[in-house]
């Protein structure tokens, strides 16, 4: 079995129309959400062997603020292939991992992360958490999947079970949609 964590970047700032998408930083709500989720991820107890992140500013700030809030130093592997990657491309990155790696946390973007959950977790009605993802996979959401594989190269559709899903609003109601700044 392998463990896969997915952490969507926190809420970003859309106010500078001149900024490239890649360069958009987090807004105030995003910084708060990243910190809240960082503390939750640490408390959840999984020690991720490897952490991969999109190098986009909003993703980088998310994992850096999350680690700081958790009081942890997290060595992050920046991988440009994760920037706005499709589910297929994210799967390709995972299939390259060495078999000795038991757990990986990926920090990235939608729709790729959400679609990866849909690809890996069967839509057979046995996973109520999948239904929450179908509803929405908002910014700064954290998900954990157990993968029924021994080698990353065997990653394939339907091999996963979604065992943990937490949205920022689950931990702090002020981070919910009714408090959107946009």
pLDDT digits (tens, 9 = 90+) for 128-150: 999 999 999 999 999 999 999 99
Domains of the chain, by residue range, sit at 2-177
pLDDT digits (tens, 9 = 90+) for 151-160: 999 999 999 9
pLDDT of residue 60: 98
In this predicted structure, the answer to whether residue 178 has a pLDDT above a threshold of 70 is: no
The CATH number assigned to the domain with range 2-177 reads 3.40.50.1240
Length of the chain: 182
pLDDT of residue 179: 55
Backbone phi, psi, residue 169, to 5°: -65, -20
Mean pLDDT of the chain: 94
CA dist 23 and 128 (Å) reads 35
Distances (CA, A) of 172 to 8, 34, 100, 163: 17, 12, 36, 21
User: 29 in helix, strand or coil?
Assistant: helix
On whether 58 is known to bind a ligand per the annotation, the reply is yes
CA dist 70 and 73 (Å) reads 9
In this predicted structure, the answer to whether residue 182 has a pLDDT above a threshold of 60 is: no
Q: Per-residue confidence at 97, pLDDT binned at 50, 70, 90?
A: very high
Residue with tokens 């920090």, as numbered in its chain: 107
pLDDT digits (tens, 9 = 90+) for 55-82: 999 999 999 999 999 998 889 999 999 9
Strands laid side by side in the 142-147 sheet: 76-78, 50-53, 103-108, 2-8, 142-147, 160-166
């Amino acid at each position: 079995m392998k463990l896969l964590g997915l952490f969507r970047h926190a809420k970003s700032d859309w106010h500078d129309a001149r900024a490239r998408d890649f360069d958009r930083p987090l807004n105030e709500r995003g910084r708060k959400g990243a910190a809240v989720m960082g503390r939750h991820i640490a408390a959840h107890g999984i020690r991720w062997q490897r952490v991969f992140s999109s190098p986009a500013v909003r993703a980088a700030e998310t994992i850096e603020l999350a680690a700081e809030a958790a009081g942890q130093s997290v060595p992050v592997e920046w991988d440009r292939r994760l920037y706005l990657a499709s589910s297929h491309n994210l799967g390709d990155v995972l299939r390259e991992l060495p078999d000795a790696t038991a757990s990986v946390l990926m920090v990235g973007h939608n729709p790729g992360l959400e679609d990866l959950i849909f690809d890996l977790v069967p839509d057979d009605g046995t996973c109520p958490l999948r239904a929450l993802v179908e509803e929405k996979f908002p910014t700064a959401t954290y998900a954990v999947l157990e993968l029924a594989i021994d080698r990353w190269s065997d990653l394939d559709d339907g091999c996963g079970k979604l065992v943990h899903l937490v949205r920022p609003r689950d931990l702090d109601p002020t981070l919910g949609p009714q408090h959107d700044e946009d």
